[in-house]
Amino acid sequence: MAKERRSLNGKVVAITGGARGIGKVTATALVRKGCRVAIGDLDLALTEQTAAELGGGTIAVSLDVTDRSSFVSFLDEAERQLGPLDVIVNNAGIMPITAFDAEADDSIRRQLDINVYGVLVGMQLALKRMRPRGSGHIVNIASSAGKVAVPNIATYCATKHAVVGCSEAVRAELRGSGVEVSCVMPVPVNTALAHGLAYQRGVKLVEPEDVANEIVDALEVPRFDVYVPRSLKASVVLSSLMPRRAREAFGRFMGVDKVMTEADLGARRDYEERAAHSKADAGSEAEPAAAQRDAV
């Protein structure tokens, strides 16, 4: 029997990295559902512009996801203007491409700060608000790279595996609490983060709208595993049942090993430079700050 869909009308939603990309498109979809949305980003001017475009009372707040006090201020302001927090979407993230043994220490630290610490802090702060009320929904944007190994983004894979694993553990802790957790695992999404990737037979782009639609669906009919596209789940499950050598051969057959190793770094130059020069304690995909907005 199909589960009854929950109404999102009037729900208060906070979205990190919300000025553009997946965050902006998700905010758009939720505003259309009647949600009251707060978007946070390092680039306040762009965030304010995005909020004005979205309408529906959307508010813009400066946010550095790697600074706990900044995150507290973001959620405080969201609740002050919109009401008690119902949903948080931890979306901010960056993805530099490099061979692991050539990766700079700054790149490793920046990804850990933004992709992992920023998500964990967002979860903790949201739970302090949601758990006493016995309701709420945490949405963490991970990646298909949180389920598989992809050469040339080893650190990124590590961060997304961390997000998947932490989301699983927190979900178990929250059993019976009334607070839901969803972990979103898309293939590469058509944002700046995916520029120049070498797409293979088993790796296709999805649009930010595809991710946003699945997030909305997971809020209306709660579920933990949110694969984008949904057909990805079959590949992940099938691969997990294979012996290692067969699993690795299957990955090569699907071209997973070539997506990053054969990426067009020239086409990625602008993104890579902006990500590299984003603050190590900030991480937006920078103008100078914007990679916090694109998480895949």
List of domains in the chain: 12-293 (3.40.50.720)
The gap between the terminal CA atoms of the chain, to the nearest Å, is: 32
- How much of the chain is helix, strand and coil, in % rounded to 5? 50, 15, 40
User: CA 224, 225, 227 angle in degrees (round to 5)?
Assistant: 145
Which helix or strand (DSSP H or E) is residue 74 part of? helix 68-82
**Per-residue pLDDT for the chain (296 aa), expressed as one digit of tens each?**
568 999 999 999 999 999 999 999 999 999 999 999 999 999 999 999 999 999 999 999 999 999 999 999 999 999 999 999 999 999 999 999 999 999 999 999 999 999 999 999 999 999 999 999 999 999 999 999 999 989 999 999 999 999 999 999 999 999 999 999 999 999 989 887 778 887 665 567 899 999 999 999 999 999 999 999 999 888 888 888 999 888 888 788 777 877 888 787 787 877 777 677 665 433 333 333 444 444 44
Nearest to 62 by CA among 24, 17, 93: 17
Q: Is the pTM of this model over 0.85?
A: yes
Which positions are catalytic?
Answer: 156
